[in-house]
Amino acid sequence: MKLIGSLTSPYVRKTRIVFAEKKLEYKFEVENVWEPTTKIQSHNPIGKVPCLLIEENESLYDSRVIVEYLDTLSPVSRLIPQSGRERANVKCWEALGDGLLDAGVTIVKEKQRPAEQISHEWIERQLGKILAALKTMSRDLGEQSFCTGVNYSLADIAVGCALGYLDFRFPDIDWRTTYPNLAKLYEKLAARHSFIDTTPPAA
Ligand code: GSF
């Protein structure tokens, strides 16, 4: 399998962490999808990474689809419960982490527009989503060891990638002071090899 991605994308990071936790082999191809010469659309018509090539002409895209597939490939370290409410809960945590990322990526892109075109109202709206997501993460984590209780799961990976992205792109958001329980969780996650090996390079 070959994963197409970038070293800075938090969605790609989530996928690489799952590869590592599942102990699955893969090749990693770095692709800059913002270059006009990118060939990403021959594998993913939406033009985004991560994109997983299963065969030369067979691809899977969207990190949520890829990680769900990877989890079925090996019984090592099950990351998503098989069914029911438990499964939906883990996927909802993932949606929360990814939703925070979507808002963050939107802000980063908005700020790259020419100064006179930047909408501060739009940025504030996205910032509101980030802050609301953090509040919900902290409330639902409570004093548990991991997002859904005692077991490490995809929920923790998604939340860890979201918090890591805030450190990377939004160092002014002091989520550690506001939410010490998230800081405690993140400290545990950041010590895992899967997180250490996928830390984004300094901006
Ligand atoms: C989001 C992927 C994404 O936005 C997923 O895979 O989970 N829901 C998708 N990827 C960005 C890179 S980044 O900001 O992480 C991307 O490839 N953007 C290219 C574009 O044309 O929007």
Q: What is the pLDDT of residues 24-81, one digit of tens each?
A: 999 999 999 999 999 999 999 999 999 999 988 899 999 999 999 999 999 989 999 9
Mutate to test the pocket of ligand 1, among 49, 69, 107, 166 (most ligand atoms within 8 A of CB): 49
Task: Pick from 48, 66, 94 the residue to mutate for probing ligand 1's pocket: most ligand atoms within 8 Å of its CB.
Answer: 48
Looking at the domain assignment, is residue 198 inside a domain?
no
The CA distance from 183 to 185, in Å, is: 5
Query: In this model, does residue 97 exceed pLDDT 90?
Result: yes
Q: Which helix (H) or strand (E) holds 6?
A: none
pLDDT at 109 over 70: yes
pLDDT in tens, 111-122: 999 999 999 999
Distance between Cα 84 and ligand 1 center (Å): 29
Whether residue 129 is predicted with pLDDT greater than 90 in this model: the reply is yes
| 6 assigned to some structural domain | yes
Give the chain's domain count.
Answer: 2
Can you give the residue range of the structural domain that contains 185?
84-192
Contact 44, 51 (CB under 8 A): yes
Distance CA 150, CA 142 (A): 12
Residue 146, helix vs strand vs coil: strand
* CATH number of the domain residue 20 falls in: 3.40.30.10
In the predicted structure, residue 105 carries a pLDDT above the cut 70:
yes
Domain shared by 67 and 97, yes or no = no
Longest CA span, the chain: 53
| Residue 53, SS3 per DSSP | strand
Q: Is the pTM of this model over 0.85?
A: yes
Nearest CA to ligand 1 atom 7: 63
Q: Is 44 helix (H, G, I), strand (E, B) or coil?
A: coil
Task: Check residue 202 and give its pLDDT.
Answer: 80
What confidence tier does 156 reach under pLDDT thresholds 50, 70, 90?
A: very high
Nearest atom within ligand 1 for CA of residue 47: 21
Per-residue model confidence (pLDDT) at position 184? 98
Task: Give the pLDDT confidence score for residue 56 in this predicted structure.
Answer: 80
Residue nearest to atom 15 of ligand 1 (CA): 9
Q: Who contacts 19 (Cβ-Cβ below 8 Å, separation ≥6)?
A: 3, 26, 70
Residues in contact with ligand 1 by the CB-under-6-Å rule are: 9-11, 33, 47-50, 62-64, 98, 105
Residues 104 and 35 in one domain: no
Percent of the chain with pLDDT over 70: 100
CATH of the domain at 159: 1.20.1050.10
User: 48: CA distance to ligand 1 center in Å?
Assistant: 5
Nearest CA to ligand 1 atom 4: 48
d(CA 2, CA 17): 15
Task: Say if residue 7 is in the same domain as residue 35.
Answer: yes
Same domain, 96 and 157: yes
User: Does the pLDDT of residue 203 top 80, yes or no?
Assistant: no
Spatial distance between the Cα atoms of 57 and 140, rounded to a whole number of angstroms:
41
Percent of the chain past pLDDT 90, that is, above it, reads 97
